[in-house]
Amino acid sequence: MPVSAGGQGRISVVLAGGGTAGHVEPAMAVADALRALDADVRITALGTARGLETRLVPDRGYDLELITPVPLPRKPNADLMRLPLRVRRAVRETRAVLDAVHADVIVGFGGYVALPAYLAARRGVTRRSVPVVIHEANASAGIANKVGARSAARVLAAVDGSGLAAAEVVGMPVRSTITGLDRAALRAQARAHFGFAEDARVLLVFGGSQGAASINRAVSAAAETLAANGIAVLHAHGPKNVLELRTPGPGDPPYVAVPYLDRMDLAYAAADLAICRSGAMTVAEVSAVGLPAVYVPLPIGNGEQRLNALPVVNAGGGLLVADADLTPAYIGETVVGLLTDAPRLAQMTTAAAAVGHRDAAARVAAVALEIARGARR
């Protein structure tokens, strides 16, 4: 068996993708794909004490090493003045992790831990360099990945036009429980799980892990119209939000409101249409399972959520509506119109599935192993 510079027999991969679910989930999908390709691979995730990775990574059975977070301020402020000190500390901590695990390759996904990882990977007077593979999830690349891409061994992206030169489009890494989902085969079980009739028309509503107040208000205000048209609703409103719902009338289809959905696979299988934000992970999952969607981009930031949804929308797999334009009237007309038009929903299902990349995690994992083995040679 080949031996790395650190004297370890098995390939060692460090995943740098902490902070938000949009960074952690693709990292975990790649971790699973790495294990599927090489059961002996050593996987270490970098994270910070304040990120979702403190729960998500151990729950998936992977090792987590914590470093100092390095948030990159968008505007001049006090955090910007403290940035150099934080970067130096985080880089020093990351180098210690790379040495301890005898890292053969770093796979970075952007976020608080990515920049220190990219800087720590560089060759020094007394240390070897560690090759870097970058994956950019959004249609507009973040600062960390723009910096890391300058010296990366390979640059991958979820969609075209990310702003990273020579990026290879591979799609968004998504967990196998989603990419392997057969919505039609699971539909009856999924609808029974949530209390819907097998022949129900179901609208799925969610706004990310924390919910989306504007989506919550618009859909809950349209509850009477939805019920009058025979449409059942599965609504994940977020753990900190509360919905104000009318008292159901006799014979109304169920309006199931929950703080959080632990079984997104069943939610996707139960639904005919979704109303959701258009973060990179959301768009990737929804299109991978072939679920038509009304995408409502987050109205703040640099517009990347709108860009994330455009490939699916342009292909005919979804609609795009501005946050301010998602009103009860829009839901009563456009959304109800879609849910009562079976042929159009079927066309949108086919279009969405055609855009989705079900093999993205395996492709990123294969590139990481290729780079790691090449570095050993």
> HEC string of the chain?
CCCCCCCCCCCEEEEECCCCHHHHHHHHHHHHHHHHHCCCCEEEEEECCCCCHHHHHHHCCCEEEECCCCCCCCCCCHHHHHHHHHHHHHHHHHHHHHHHHCCCEEEECCCCCHHHHHHHCCCCCCCCCCCEEEEECCCCCCHHHHHHHCCCCEEEECCCCCCCCCCEECCCCCCHHHHCCCHHHHHHHHHHHHCCCCCCEEEEEECCCCCCHHHHHHHHHCHHHHHHCCEEEEEECCCCCCCCCCCCCCCCCCEEEECCCCCHHHHHHHCCEEEECCCHHHHHHHHHCCCCEEECCCCCCCCHHHHHHHHHHHHCCEEECCHHHCCHHHHHHHHHHHHCCHHHHHHHHHHHHHHCCCCHHHHHHHHHHHHHHHHHC
What is residue 252's three-state secondary structure?
coil
Is 244 within 8 Å of 220 (Cβ atoms)? yes
State the span(s) of the chain assigned CATH 3.40.50.2000: 12-174+359-376, 182-355
**Strand 231-236 to strand 132-136: parallel, antiparallel, or no bridges (unpaired)?**
unpaired
What is the number of residues in the chain?
A: 377
User: pTM of the prediction?
Assistant: 0.84
Query: What fold does the segment set 182-355 form as a domain?
Result: Rossmann fold (3.40.50)
pLDDT value for 209: 60
CA distance 107 to 365: 9
Q: Which residues pair with 157 in a beta bridge?
A: 136, 169
Write b or e for each residue in 245-269: b if 16 or more Cβ atoms lie within 10 A of its Cβ, otherwise e: eeeeeeebbbbebbeebeebbbbbb
CA distance 209 to 342: 30
Sign of CA dihedral 271, 53, 43, 16: positive
CA distance 98 to 262: 33
H-state helical runs in 114-208:
114-120, 143-149, 176-179, 183-194
pLDDT value for 7: 44
H-state helical runs in 128-182:
143-149, 176-179
Give tens-digit pLDDT for 319-348. Answer: 999 999 999 999 999 999 999 999 999 999
**Residue stretches of the annotated binding site for UDP-N-acetyl-alpha-D-glucosamine:** 20-22, 138, 175, 209, 305
Residue with tokens 């196998």: 176
CA distance 355 to 43: 30
**Residue stretches of the annotated binding site:** 20-22, 138, 175, 209, 305
Q: Which residues of the chain have pLDDT under 50?
A: 1-7, 76
Please give the span between the terminal C-alpha atoms of the chain, in angstroms, as a whole number.
Answer: 12
Q: Which CATH superfamily is domain 12-174+359-376 in?
A: Glycogen Phosphorylase B; (3.40.50.2000)
pLDDT value for 296: 97
Residues ≥6 apart with Cβ < 8 Å to 305 = 277, 278, 279, 295, 297, 298
Residue with tokens 């068996």: 1
Is 120 within 8 Å of 140 (Cβ atoms)? no
CA distance 273 to 290: 10
Token reading at 316: 């005919």
